[in-house]
């Protein structure tokens, strides 16, 4: 499906981003750059001739520029708005009226690019099957560089792209493509969609297939944390350890300024112990074992009496919000 591939590869807001630029977008931006440069030219010949730039039938460069400029003026009127998850004020704002020359031209080109992106998203939303990813609000965008692509096994990259755009040969899809008559799942006889195979087949669940996947991810995560704990910054003097007479009880007091200064979650302690709910890992510390909770990973610092618990869920992308709420409720008593 060529259209889907185009969307998959060129949309900069897609959940799976490939580092390729649309040839059409580059063509349009090239024309925009040329026209805006000619517009501002001081050359008397250019000024009198007013050269017209040839483009396709559908897309008119002058219209695109006017639209982009209109938008930039409007944005200045509205003022700064936060559209992404970056912290407030983290991106510097350029105002249309306050820029000139090349900077102004770059703003027009960037605006044209953004409008191209919006156009692609609108197209994707209109495709009910392959456009499912547009509903994955909680999923983080994943960028694939050429290096990633070359390092991945071809089958893996195929699977990754096909799963995001629902192009895997599930029985439901095979029926849709006219290659099969029966859309049912051989395990549970429900309708076998990609979502069903990856996250909602009851038989697969009872056979421990999802647990196996969960534990493989957990293993990977626990290893990374184990390595990271050795790289945390040393304890800061604002951690104060109080001990009762005879040392029967110990507790830690951390001033608010200390927590503000902390850059990483593991900073400030150098005795982190990592345990995971996996057979080959150390069991959780006594303080956790006393409870009925079974967190996936516990990071514990005996000297500062701090515990960081990690819960891992591998939900289907459209159910991320739901899974998060469920896990939050599990630990509600602790907050």
Contacting residues toward Zn ion, per CB under 5 A: 185, 187-188, 190, 201
- Cβ atoms within 10 Å of 194's Cβ, excluding its own: 20
Which is nearer to Zn ion, 65 or 201 (by Cβ)?
201
Please report how close the Cβ of residue 203 comes to Zn ion at its closest, in angstroms. Answer: 5
Residue 207 or 259: the one with the smaller Cβ distance to Zn ion is: 207
190 vs 172: CA distance, rounded Å:
10
Nearer to Zn ion, 188 or 288 (CB): 188
Phi/psi at 242 (5° precision): -100, 140
Smallest gap, in angstroms, from Cβ of residue 174 to Zn ion? 15
Instruction: Measure the CA–CA gap between 137 and 84, rounded to whole angstroms.
Output: 12
Smallest separation (angstroms) from Zn ion to the CB of 196: 6
Per DSSP bridges, beta strands 142-144 and 16-18 are: parallel
Q: Which two tokens stand for residue 190?
A: 């429900």
**Distance (Å) of CA 212 to CA 218, 246, 318, 327:** 10, 47, 21, 19
**What token pair was written down for 9?**
């590869």
With respect to Zn ion, which residue has the nearer C-beta, 35 or 185? 185
Measured from the CB atom, is 188 or 221 closer to Zn ion? 188
Cβ proximity to Zn ion, 195 vs 296, nearer residue: 195
Compute the least distance from the CB of residue 319 to Zn ion, in Å.
17
Cβ 233 to Zn ion shortest distance, Å: 48
The nearest distance, CB 122 to Zn ion, in angstroms, is 34
Question: Helix, strand, or coil here: 49?
Answer: helix
Name every residue whose Cβ is closer than 8 Å to that of residue 266 and which is 6 or more positions away in sequence: 228, 229, 231, 232, 272, 299, 308
Q: Which residue has the tokens 């003022």?
A: 79
Instruction: Give the number of residues written for the chain.
Output: 335
For residue 333, the tally of other CB atoms under 10 A from its CB is 8
- Choose between 203 and 287: whose C-beta lies nearer to Zn ion: 203
Distance CA 185, CA 176 (A): 15
Residue 201 or 218 having the CB closest to Zn ion: 201
CB of 132 to Zn ion, least distance (A): 19
- Residues 191 and 172 sit within 8 Å (Cβ to Cβ): yes
Least separation in angstroms between CB 183 and Zn ion:
11
Supply 75's token pair: 């944005």
């Amino acid at each position: 499906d060529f259209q889907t591939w185009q969307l998959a590869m060129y949309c900069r807001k897609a959940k799976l981003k490939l580092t390729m630029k649309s040839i059409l977008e580059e063509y349009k931006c090239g024309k925009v750059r040329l026209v805006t440069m000619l517009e501002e030219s001081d050359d008397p010949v250019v000024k009198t001739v007013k050269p017209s730039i040839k483009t396709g039938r559908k897309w008119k460069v002058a219209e695109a520029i006017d639209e982009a400029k209109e938008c930039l003026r409007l944005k200045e009127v509205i003022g700064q708005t936060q559209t992404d998850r970056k912290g407030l004020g983290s991106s510097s704002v350029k105002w249309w009226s306050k820029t000139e020359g090349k900077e102004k031209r770059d703003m027009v080109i960037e605006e044209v690019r953004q409008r191209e992106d919006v156009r692609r998203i609108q197209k994707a939303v209109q495709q009910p099957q392959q456009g499912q990813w547009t509903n994955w609000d909680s999923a983080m965008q994943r960028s694939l560089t050429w290096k990633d692509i070359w390092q991945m096994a071809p089958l893996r990259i195929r699977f990754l792209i096909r799963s995001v755009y629902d192009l895997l040969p599930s029985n439901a899809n095979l029926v849709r493509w006219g290659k099969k008559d029966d859309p049912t799942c051989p395990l549970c006889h429900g309708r076998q969609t990609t979502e069903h195979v990856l996250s909602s087949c009851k038989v697969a669940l009872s056979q421990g297939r999802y647990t196996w996947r969960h534990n493989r991810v957990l293993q990977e995560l626990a290893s990374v944390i184990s390595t990271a704990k050795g790289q945390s910054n040393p304890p800061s003097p604002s951690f104060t350890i109080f001990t009762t007479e005879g040392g029967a009880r110990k507790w830690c007091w951390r001033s608010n300024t200390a927590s503000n200064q902390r850059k990483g979650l593991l900073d400030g302690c150098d005795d982190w112990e990592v345990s995971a709910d996996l057979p080959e890992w150390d069991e959780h510390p006594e303080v956790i074992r006393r409870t009925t909770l079974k967190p996936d990973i516990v990071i514990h610092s005996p000297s500062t009496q701090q515990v960081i618990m990690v819960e891992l869920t591998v939900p289907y992308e459209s159910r991320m919000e739901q899974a998060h709420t469920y896990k939050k409720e599990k630990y509600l008593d602790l907050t």
